[in-house]
Copies of this chain bind each other. A is one copy, B any other.
Amino acid sequence: MHSVRFTAETSSDGVVERDFTVGEVPGVLWSSASTSDHAPLVLMAHSGGQHKRAPGILARAHRFVTGCGFNVAAIDAPGHGDRPRTAEDERRVAVLREAQAAGAPLGPVVVGIHIDLAARAVPEWQATLDTLQDLPEIGAEAPIGFWGIMQGTGIGVPLTAVEPRIAAAVFGCLGHESLTEAAAQITVPIEFLLQWDDEHIERQSGLALFDAFASKEKTLHANSGGHSDMPGFESDSATRFFARHLGRVATTPA
């Protein structure tokens, strides 16, 4: 059983940022400088080729902390960020780059990558959650949410399917049949994001994944525009979604 080891701490704009490792997995924990104990914890999984402190993760993590007083944790996925790549990781990245350069749809290419990554990342996320719950300021009482789009959905759907501690999740920008079975096991509230004109993800496969969740409460937000055009107001919407389901009141964004 691992325990969390903190390696660095900084603070800015009322957000405390602590680097940590759990075993060999490096992560970041963001908290409010004025947080109450047992505030909800949002787990954030980054996209493919990115890392725990990618701009999209960092901005949303700050929004969740300042908007709702949540704790937010991100870890590097296997072969990403500060973690070593296996020869197989390198081979998969090369195939992906080739498809990107050719302008080919990425859906079929990422399926294999996500299945492999999820098999490695799901137990890492569960170990991370175990150790974060050992922290007195989080504890077993803190409600848990999950946020991850694209590769974060490829990992997050299998994770949420087997992890009863996750009480609400934001997914999106992905759809493939390999996730249908896991999605059908998920019953917690879901907010699902799609880009209506996504050049990489086939629209019907994204809609089919949204349809597959067994959740009584699920909402699809589909915005016009391509893969990288997601509007900023979806961060505020995710904040309100977690506030509704994890038990906090969201403040109006500045």
Contacts and interface: CB of A to CB of B under 8 A. Distances in A.
A233 B244 CA distance: 10
| Chain A interface, DSSP helix/strand/loop, else mixed | mixed
Given A250-B252, A252-B250, A252-B252, A219 B223 contact: yes
Contacts of A251: 252
Interface string A91-126: 000000000000000000000000000000000000
Interface in A170-224: 196, 207, 210-211, 215-224
A167 to B, nearest CB: 17
Contacts of A222: 210, 219-220, 222
B224 A219 contact: yes
Copy number in the complex reads 2
A240 interface: yes
B233 A224 contact: no
Contacts of A237: 237
A30 B211 CA distance: 39
Contacts of A217: 224, 231
A215 B224 contact: yes
Contact of A224 (B196, B216, B221, B252): B216
Contacts of A252: 249-252
Given A250-B252, A252-B252, A196 B221 contact: no
Interface string A232-254: 01000100100010000111100
Q: Which 4 A-B pairs have the closest CB atoms?
A: A220-B222, A218-B224, A252-B252, A219-B223
26 contacts: A196-B210, A196-B211, A196-B218, A196-B220, A210-B222, A215-B224, A216-B224, A217-B224, A217-B231, A218-B223, A218-B224, A219-B222, A219-B223, A219-B224, A219-B231, A220-B220, A220-B221, A220-B222, A220-B223, A233-B240, A233-B244, A237-B237, A249-B252, A250-B252, A251-B252, A252-B252
Given A219-B224, A220-B222, A221-B221, 6 more contacts: A215-B224, A216-B224, A219-B221, A220-B223, A237-B237, A251-B252
